[in-house]
Amino acid sequence: MANQTRSVSSTSPTRRTRSEARGNRNRADRLTSRHADRNPRGGGPRRGRPHKSHRVLKWILALLGLVLVAGAATFAYLYLTTEIIPPEKQALAQKTTVYYADGTTPIGTYANQNREIIDCAVLPKYVGNAVVASENRTFYKDNGIDLKGISRALFNNVTKGTRQGGSTITQQYAERYYLGETTSYKGKLREAILSLKISRTEDKDTVLCNYLNTIYFGRGAYGIQAAAQNYFGKDAKDLTMPESAMLAGIIPAPASWDPAVNPKQAESRFRRVLAIMEEDHYISHQDRASAQMPQTIKYMPQNVYQGPNGYLLRMVRNELSSGKKAPFTADDLDTGGYRIITTIQKDKQDLMFQVASPSTGNKHLPPTLQIGGLSVDPKTGAIISLYAGDDYLTHQLNNVDQATFQVGSTMKAYTLLGAIQDGVSLNTVFNGNSPRTFSSVGKSVANAGNVSYGYINLYSAFANSVNTVFMDLGEHVTSHKIAQVAHTAGITGKIDDTTTFDTLGVDALSVYDVTQGYATLANGGQRPKLHLVAQVKDTKDQELYTAAIQSDQVFNADQVALLQKAMTTTVQRGTASYARSLGRPIAGKTGTANDQTAISFIGFTPSLLTTFAVWNQGQDGGALKVPDRYHDDFYAVQLFTQYMKSALGNSPVERFPDAEDHGKIGGPEGNWGTGSRQRSPSTRNREYSYAPQQRSQRQNSEQGQSGSGSGSGSGEGAGGGSENDSGSDTGEGGNEGSTQGNSGAESSQQ
């Protein structure tokens, strides 16, 4: 038994060991399987994932299928509903109209539809070949669209705000109908679909003919027939090969590449077209070698620019299409069918013309006398009205933004502001006697009529435009700072900053330029941007452009308020006292050119600023003296008063802000002027009472008069004086900078 027991005992561990080994192996297999499920690098596929992946893939494929079906359905719908517009109908939808500020009263239009649809069968073959060579060399082979070109144009249009169209002739034809929409994805899709439909339903010759009949060639010419007449004075059927090549070359930018505007670029494009025509076997090498750049005829603007509105149309065009950052091109304006709404108020514009034009009323002005007028809202920079001339077609030199005149003492405002910035009290007294010699110029300078004002403060010196005081003040402020202040205010024209005479305004500027500068002074030191266009809308009344109303604070508001306080004295008892009849606070400054070749006045309330300038221009473009009756009665102030009386009407009286003078008598170092020393009581004074057609000289009776509006500080009492900026015994200035409506300037304008 014992042996038997041992025998059983000896075999039992072996069986257990084998059983345990099998169990261990099973457990190891299970562990390995679980680890493989958790670890992608394990030894087997994940359990359950293949079924889930298949479900996701099915959803993705189903979604893609739906997108494709929806896309195909959309494409089919758009293809079926897209109408192919005949050239006659397309041509009528592209007229741009410019409106007054009310948005309903038209000022005029751009590019009247100078167009005649012709049968292209009468055209020489090289007319179409030249266009194909220039615009779309693969025209006869492609299917009407360039997918790469569409993608590139759409990307640039959406991201950069540009207006790029298609690259094929078919696309260009389609794009012109949808102009204004092709910056959107929908517009580009429509353009592509229309191009495809055209290419599949019309033969190439028909497409090319329609393109030739609708494309804009510049000079107001739509279509090849009008272009042939406007550039060469002939019918399109009579065009020569070189003439056809020149017209084809300027198609991308006809307004800018017109041979009369940019002959170098026009010829470069002409040579390019000839080279391609030879390469594509449209002409022979001999044809190319013998071709000469054709001569175009002189282009006369259409009568759309006739009369005073022609100046407005030209200024609107320049504002929207000039410069690298211009929102539109000239060709956009000619072909876009836009609605351009200006800031011009029709009632004020009619008033401005009635006041300024020599042709209205019984004025009998000398034919050589020129007038420029501009009225703006200084808070927004909006131009309300302007007078640039009577008829653009007969006098294309714009009297507002092109012709220049010597601005005279209007520059004294910037000198005075510079002094305020330097910490000078306006109660500081200066020697106002005449003449005086100044070391900065080494010459003697006199006041108007050589009148001596004795010792007067800066209020009185500004009111009476005392040259000797401002030459003295200018030496302290420095000519460089005077020019710097003027440029900071917004003046862009050249100012000579090397001579103290810049305080007397010896430089020539335009009415637009001086108004821009004074708008900053009227707006509390905030510089607005003068503008003529409020907004531009497309044919569906969607806004394409809105003027940015912004103003930068370039001067300290308190310092400008003090300047405005001084500027009111010009009207209260100074050289513009005729404007006192308006019965409300007016700030401003008169200006007279050296040798009396121009007179001007810039005046303002807080909400309305108006400039009038009068100059005398000889037949040869040279500057002449303004006749005495207009100079002595200061005709510019009369024009200002007449305009502002009606323009302001019964509007609420506005007052300028209160101003405190924190400056120091005698300036920061006490050596400006004569400190607080007062004017000699024995000094003679003179003031003109500016009544129309009448000049009177009398002793000052308004000494110590308090001013309207912001009021005057102590010690301001001083006589009025005849405003004149010329120096005596100096010979300074001569005709330098005087009226620049010269033949050279005029000939450069179109």
What pLDDT was estimated at residue 149?
61
Q: For residue 686, give the nearest of 701, 699, 703, 702 by alpha carbon.
A: 699
58 vs 329, higher pLDDT:
329
CATH number at residue 198: 1.10.3810.10
What pLDDT was estimated at residue 664?
96
CA distance 711 to 706: 6
pLDDT band, very low/low/confident/very high, at 1 (cuts 50, 70, 90): very low
Q: Is 694 helix (H, G, I), strand (E, B) or coil?
A: strand
CATH number at residue 409: 3.40.710.10
pLDDT at 328 over 90: yes
pLDDT band, very low/low/confident/very high, at 173 (cuts 50, 70, 90): confident
Half-sphere exposure of 416 (CA within 13 A, CB side): 33
- CA separation, residue 447 to residues 178, 454, 726, 729 (Å): 65, 12, 7, 11
The DSSP element (H or E) to which 535 belongs, if any, is: strand 533-537
Segment 665-672 long-range contacts (CB within 8 Å, at least 24 positions apart):
665/425, 665/427, 665/428, 666/424, 666/425, 666/428, 667/419, 667/422, 667/423, 667/424, 667/428, 667/476, 668/422, 668/423, 668/424, 672/419, 672/424, 672/428, 672/430, 672/473, 672/476
Q: Is 475 helix (H, G, I), strand (E, B) or coil?
A: helix
Do the domain assignments include residue 516?
yes
pLDDT band, very low/low/confident/very high, at 680 (cuts 50, 70, 90): very low
What pLDDT was estimated at residue 728?
35
Which two tokens mark 214? 């609708």
pLDDT band, very low/low/confident/very high, at 531 (cuts 50, 70, 90): very high
Do the domain assignments include residue 82?
no
Do the domain assignments include residue 390?
no
CA distance 215 to 86: 13
In single-letter form, the type of residue at position 329 comes to T
Domain ends where: 624, 648, 672?
Answer: 648
The DSSP element (H or E) to which 33 belongs, if any, is: helix 2-38
pLDDT tens, residue by residue, 106-130: 999 886 566 778 899 999 999 999 9
Hey, how many other C-beta atoms are within 10 angstroms of the C-beta on 694?
A: 11
pLDDT tens, residue by residue, 269-302: 999 999 999 999 999 999 999 999 999 999 876 6
What pLDDT was estimated at residue 695?
34
What pLDDT was estimated at residue 690?
32
State whether 500 and 632 are in the same domain.
Answer: yes
What pLDDT was estimated at residue 464?
97
What pLDDT was estimated at residue 185?
57
What pLDDT was estimated at residue 27?
56
- CA separation, residue 114 to residues 12, 98, 131, 217, 228 (Å): 118, 18, 20, 11, 12
What value does the mean pLDDT take over residues 626-645? 94
Do the domain assignments include residue 87?
no
What pLDDT was estimated at residue 573?
95
What value does the mean pLDDT take over residues 366-373? 94
Segment 89-95 long-range contacts (CB within 8 Å, at least 24 positions apart):
90/176, 90/177, 90/214, 91/115, 91/117, 91/213, 91/214, 91/222, 91/223, 93/177, 93/337, 93/539, 94/176, 94/179, 94/222, 94/335, 94/336, 94/337, 95/337
pLDDT at 739 over 90: no
CA distance 625 to 211: 57
- Proportion of the chain above pLDDT 70, given as a percent: 74
Q: For residue 468, give the nearest of 508, 441, 497 by alpha carbon.
A: 441
CA distance 126 to 130: 6
Q: Which of 173-182, 294-303, 678-687, 707-716 has the highest mean pLDDT?
A: 294-303
The burial class, CB within 10 Å (0-12 / 13-18 / 19+), for 434 is: buried
Backbone angles phi, psi at 735, to 5 degrees: -100, 15
Domain ends where: 264, 290, 316?
Answer: 290
What pLDDT was estimated at residue 84?
64
Least confident range of 260-264, 392-396, 702-706: 702-706
Q: For residue 574, give the nearest of 601, 593, 597, 599 by alpha carbon.
A: 601
Hey, how many other C-beta atoms are within 10 angstroms of the C-beta on 125?
A: 10
Q: Chain-wide mean pLDDT for the chain?
A: 81
CA distance 244 to 234: 12
Sign of the alpha-carbon dihedral angle for 103, 107, 108, 109: negative
Q: For residue 241, give the nearest of 267, 262, 270 by alpha carbon.
A: 270
What value does the mean pLDDT take over residues 290-318? 92
pLDDT tens, residue by residue, 8-30: 444 444 445 555 555 555 555 55
Do the domain assignments include residue 255?
yes
What value does the mean pLDDT take over residues 572-594? 96
pLDDT at 740 over 50: no
CA distance 517 to 490: 5
Domain count, the chain: 2
Q: For residue 344, give the nearest of 287, 384, 309 by alpha carbon.
A: 384
Do the domain assignments include residue 305?
no
- Proportion of the chain above pLDDT 90, given as a percent: 57
Q: Is 531 helix (H, G, I), strand (E, B) or coil?
A: strand
Q: Which of 128-142, 169-183, 469-483, 682-696 has the highest mean pLDDT?
A: 469-483
pLDDT at 692 over 50: no
pLDDT tens, residue by residue, 446-502: 998 899 999 999 999 999 999 999 999 999 999 999 999 999 999 999 999 999 999
- CA separation, residue 367 to residues 310, 371, 615, 735 (Å): 21, 11, 11, 20
Using only C-alpha atoms, what is the Rg of the chain? 39
pLDDT at 182 over 70: no
pLDDT at 430 over 50: yes
CA distance 673 to 475: 11
Least confident range of 108-117, 564-573, 728-737: 728-737
Least confident range of 294-303, 366-375, 378-387: 294-303
- CA separation, residue 451 to residues 7, 678, 720, 745 (Å): 152, 17, 11, 37
- CA separation, residue 513 to residues 224, 400, 407, 421 (Å): 41, 9, 10, 23
What value does the mean pLDDT take over residues 528-555? 93
What pLDDT was estimated at residue 707?
34
Cβ–Cβ under 8 Å, residues 132 and 208? yes
What pLDDT was estimated at residue 61?
79
pLDDT at 429 over 60: yes
Do the domain assignments include residue 192?
yes
In single-letter form, the type of residue at position 736 comes to E
CA distance 318 to 314: 6
- CA separation, residue 58 to residues 64, 283, 556 (Å): 10, 60, 70
Domain ends where: 268, 290, 312?
Answer: 290
Beta carbons within 8 Å of 724's beta carbon, 6+ residues apart: 447, 448, 449, 465, 467, 592, 596
pLDDT band, very low/low/confident/very high, at 52 (cuts 50, 70, 90): low
pLDDT band, very low/low/confident/very high, at 733 (cuts 50, 70, 90): very low
Domain that holds residue 201: 113-290
Do the domain assignments include residue 167?
yes
The DSSP element (H or E) to which 214 belongs, if any, is: helix 204-214
CA angle 748, 224, 747 (to 5 degrees): 5
699 vs 180, higher pLDDT:
180
Beta strand pairing call for 598-604 and 587-592? antiparallel
What pLDDT was estimated at residue 141?
85
What pLDDT was estimated at residue 20?
56
